[in-house]
Chain A
Amino acid sequence: MGLKGVIKKIIAFLLPEESKRDDNREYSLSLCNENKVVEINHITNNIYNLNIDVTKLKQEEKEKLIEIYPEIRQNNGLILEQNKFNIFKEQREKNRNVPLLKFFKGKIKEEDYQALRMSVYIQRKFSNGEDIKPYLNDLYKKYGQRGYNINNLNGRGYFESFIKLNYTLLQSQERENEFLNFFDKFIMEQPITYFVNQMKSQEVMNEELLSKINKCKRYGIRKLSIHGMGKINKEKIDEFIKIIEDRSDIKIVSRIEIGVAVSLILEIALDT
């Protein structure tokens, strides 16, 4: 029996007077803690929700519920916590067919793909102005620094441009087998990017950046992009500019500020 049939049976048992109603109502079912044991709420048009507060059901009512709807134990659909259902629904409607995710599915390791999928979700929340801290914590807890790096790189469009392009290029040369190695290094060593971290002091950041610039020189990398979010990180980038602005081997190509995000692009003269 489908859930619709089950709901009508439950109504007949718990709200017999309602079941006499001869109309074309469509019902959904929720199991939430409310004032009443059982309640029907109008949602829209002919759509109604039947809520059963399972915490208030008597033992015999629970047994009857299981008798009417034995599948609640095996479950023939999906029973999901309300808050998570909203994420589930939103993801299915808006993020399920994101071309970027489709492209990278199967091309990168499953764990990296999962982190990228979380990042796509987080970036959309961020662009809607929503609080993303809990999601970032979740990302870090599960995927550590690697997950953070994936999110940072995705947030600045590196997956859509640089990484995707690199895969396509390798593919055109029948060298796809080199991609994972490139990807791994790009994510963990971030050779052409630096993301300013609020937790790191100005001194540590300066040291890391100068060391990175030296590494760029050593390996013939001419361009380095520095990204920061928020007032504190913006100030750190501006302090760093003061250190390098007089250096003849480093040229500041651009300093772009969009909203709370700042990007500093450097061109590095290679040692001859």
Chain B
Amino acid sequence: MDDRFIVFDEKSKEALLEIMNKSVDPEGFIIEKDNPTERVLTKEGEEIKLEEFAGVRKGSEVFIKNDLNSILELAETFE
């Protein structure tokens, strides 16, 4: 596997986000742990729920949703 990639599974999502200093608000959206009113955004500007979270790519912090289009877009544009 390319050494830039790290994979995780569904069960590890929350623990990984915690390591990344994120948390989940009562409505299920991923938020900044240090600033709970701030929900993280995808590059399309969409807020993202824990169940939709598929990963993070390089950049400042680019959150990726788990729908097919987001993954195909990532495959096309990831350098």
Which residues in A have some Cβ–Cβ distance to B below 8 Å? 2-4, 28-33, 49, 53-55, 57, 62, 65-66, 72-85, 87-89, 91-92, 95-96, 114, 117-118, 121, 135, 138-139, 141-142
Instruction: Tell me whether A114 and B8 are in contact (CB under 8 A).
Output: no
Mostly, the B contact residues are: mixed
A84 and B55 contact, Cβ closer than 8 Å, known pairs A31-B7, A76-B4, A77-B4: yes
B27 on interface, CB distance cutoff 8 Å: no
Contacts of A29 in B (CB 8 A): 6
When the two chains form their complex, are residues B19 and A54 in contact, meaning their CB atoms are under 8 A apart?
A: yes
**Bound complex: CA A142 to CA B73 (Å):** 14
Chain B residues whose CB sits within 8 angstroms of the CB of A55 once the complex forms: 11-12, 14-15
A54-B16, A78-B78 in contact; A30/B55 too (CB < 8 A)? no
Q: Is the CB of A74 within 8 A of B60?
A: yes
CB contact under 8 A between A81 and B9, given known A54-B15, A62-B19, A87-B71: yes
B64 contacts the other chain (CB 8 A): yes
Q: Is the CB of A78 within 8 A of B61?
A: no
CB distance from A145 to the nearest CB of B (A): 17
Q: How far is the CA of A91 from the CA of B16 in the complex (A)?
A: 25
CA distance A139 to B64 in the complex (A): 17
Q: A66-B19, A73-B19, A84-B55 are in contact. Are A79 and B8 (CB under 8 A)?
A: yes
In the bound complex, what is the Cα–Cα distance between A65 and B15 (angstroms)? 13
| Max chain A C-beta neighbours (<10 A), residue from B11, B21, B68 | B68
In the assembled complex, which residues on chain B have CB atoms less than 8 Å from the CB atom of A32?
7-9, 11-12
Complex-state Cα separation, A31 to B75, whole angstroms: 21
**Extra 19 A-B pairs, beta carbons < 8 Å, given A32-B9, A77-B58, A78-B56:** A3-B3, A29-B6, A31-B12, A31-B15, A32-B7, A53-B12, A62-B19, A72-B19, A73-B19, A76-B58, A77-B57, A78-B78, A79-B55, A80-B57, A81-B54, A82-B7, A82-B8, A117-B73, A121-B72
In the complex the two chains form, what is the Cα distance from A173 to B64 in whole Å?
42
Contacts A54-B12, A75-B58; is A117 near B6 (CB within 8 Å)? no
A122 closest partner in B (C-beta):
B68
Docked-complex contact B5 and A78, CB < 8 angstroms: yes
Pair A77/B21 contact, Cβ less than 8 Å: no
Q: Output the nearest chain A residue to B53 by Cβ-Cβ distance.
A: A81
Given the complex, which residues of B lie within 8 Å of A139, measured CB to CB? 68
**Contacts of B7 on A, CB cut-off 8 Å?**
30-32, 79-82, 85
Q: In the complex the two chains form, is B68's CB within 8 Å of A121's CB? A: yes
Q: Do A78 and B69 have beta carbons less than 8 Å apart?
A: no
List the 4 closest A-B pairs by CB distance, nearest first. A77-B4, A80-B55, A33-B11, A91-B75
- Assembly CA distance A142 to B67 (angstroms): 9
Question: Inside 8 A of A81's CB, which chain B residues have their CB?
Answer: 7-10, 13, 53-55, 66
Residues from chain B with a CB closer than 8 A to the CB of A74 are 60-61
How near does chain A come to B68, taking the closest CB pair, in angstroms?
5
Are A78 and B57 in contact, with the CB atoms below 8 A? yes
User: How many whole Å from A37's CB to the nearest CB in chain B?
Assistant: 12
Shortest CB distance B3–A (Å) = 5
Question: Which residue on B lies nearest to A147, using beta carbons?
Answer: B69
**Given A82-B9, A91-B71: A2 touches B15 (CB 8 Å cut-off):** no
